[in-house]
Amino acid sequence: MRRVAVIGVGFTKVGEHWNSSLRDLYAQAVLRAVSDADLELRDIQAMFIGNMSSGYLQAQEHLGSLLATHLGIQGIAAVKIEAACGSGGAAFHQAVLAVASGYYDFVIAGGIEKMTDVRTEYLTSALIMADDQEFVASTGVTFPGLNALIYRLYMEKYNVRQEDIAQFPVHEHFYAQFVEHAQYRYPITLEQVLESTIVADPIRLLECSPISDGAAAVVLCPLDIAMKRRKEGIVEVIGSALSTDAISLNEREDPTTFIATVKAAKRAYRMAKIEPRDVDVVEVHDAYSILGIINLEDLGFAEKGKGVRLVKEGEIARDGRIPTNLSGGLKARGHPVGATGIYQVAEIVKQLRGDFGKNQVDDAEIGLAQSIGGVGGTVIVNILKRIR
């Protein structure tokens, strides 16, 4: 098994890109990542593209060939990887396998989703395809609706108040102020969250990640090649795991914990030979505020039912014990679904390089990114470590 490094990252601002097509947006991210890696496009041998809904939203499949063509590097191996909202994280995992296998040296893991310039009802339909169409989506339930069930059950089971859970997006918006690529760069207050429109009771609007356009890319290569080529900015992938779970909540014993997170994290920690306490900086998949809390617990940073304490006691702050979502997270950086998992990895890489600006965690050495597909039907956990 070859050791794998990340040597380049690139992404667009997350937001409404009405003047860029899917391919243009994607190309911007790749060009930045390749340049950051100090490579030329012609060095790239394979590309794994995380995307969920291009078929339904853009009537465009075959992104591998399309995007390789647009970049002028047709000839390379390129495929689309789909695992619902976790497509980006899954594409990164595939890229790791591709380099580890010895088949490819310079590989791009990319993610792209273009969501803001389609009709809202199309988006609702597109997103619920992450759950079981025949037995769940067909009831008319929406994605916020499913997460509202988790939210309410969690509050009841652990006797936790919404005021505490709703601190999570407040935390994220605070940090997003200092993140150039974030979709919403302004602070919000707890009162604003609790008074915002109800989307699916009890979930309030300001607890929901937005609809976003965005593209991100990272360049991977064997660690030994990275060491020869670069003096600094080398980050190793020390753990990478993807786990599935029953696709629908009704098939789970306990919907307030994501077993796929627990399993993927366990594998990734074991592979990395670390414990949760060794992690210096984290990005979790907070599509809704409640998921931010649940993820912190399932990743081993807090006991079940105690996740809100990490927020309340400042432990997920920049100078806390387990700095989390300093990018603004899905809520404030934004959530272009198939790209989000790659944004997370890119942000962790920048943290480990000491290149995260005002939100830089002091001397961050090990970082973790967690990406979710559906309501936890797929979870990908990637652990990265600064080598030099």
The contact set with a copy of itself (CB under 8 A) reads 1, 21, 46, 52-53, 55-56, 58-66, 68-69, 74-84, 90, 93-94, 96-98, 100-103, 125-126, 129-134, 137, 240-248, 251, 259-260, 263, 373-374, 377-378
Residues in Cβ contact with 134 at an 8 Å cutoff, skipping those fewer than 6 apart? none
Question: Please, what is the minimum distance in Å from the beta carbon of residue 54 to a copy of itself?
Answer: 8
Residue 87, CA distances (Å) to 113, 173, 245, 326 in order:
10, 24, 15, 22
What gap in Å lies between CA 236 and CA 331, rounded to an integer? 28
**Which residue, 292 or 338, has its beta carbon nearer to a copy of itself?**
338
Matching residue, tokens 């991100």: 216
- In degrees, rounded to 5, the angle at the alpha carbon of residue 114 between the alpha carbons of residues 220 and 174 is 80
**Sign of the CA dihedral 17, 142, 345, 324?**
positive
Looking at 93, 171, 285, 335, which residue is catalytic?
A: 335
Residues 6+ apart with CB under 8 A from 294: 150, 154, 256, 257, 258, 307
Q: In the complex with a copy of itself, which residue's Cβ is closer, 143 or 151?
A: 143
- The nearer residue to a copy of itself, 45 or 325, going by C-beta atoms, is 45
How far apart are CB 230 and a copy of itself at their closest, in Å? Answer: 23
For residue 212, which amino acid is it? S
Q: For a copy of itself, give the closer residue by CB, 60 or 177.
A: 60
| Nearest distance from C-beta of residue 362 to a copy of itself, angstroms | 33
In the complex, what is the shortest distance from the CB of residue 200 to a copy of itself, in angstroms, rounded to a whole number? Answer: 20
* Minimum CB–partner distance for residue 106 and a copy of itself (Å): 15
Element (H, E) at 97: helix 87-100
- For a copy of itself, give the closer residue by CB, 292 or 374: 374
Of residues 17, 62, 85, 171, which has the active-site annotation? 85
Q: Is 62 a catalytic residue?
A: no
85 is catalytic: yes
Q: Write the single-letter amino acid at 304.
A: K
Strand pairing category for 281-283 and 366-373: parallel
Query: Is residue 234 within 8 Å of 9, Cβ to Cβ?
Result: no
* Residue-level length of the chain: 388
Provide the annotated active-site residues: 85, 335
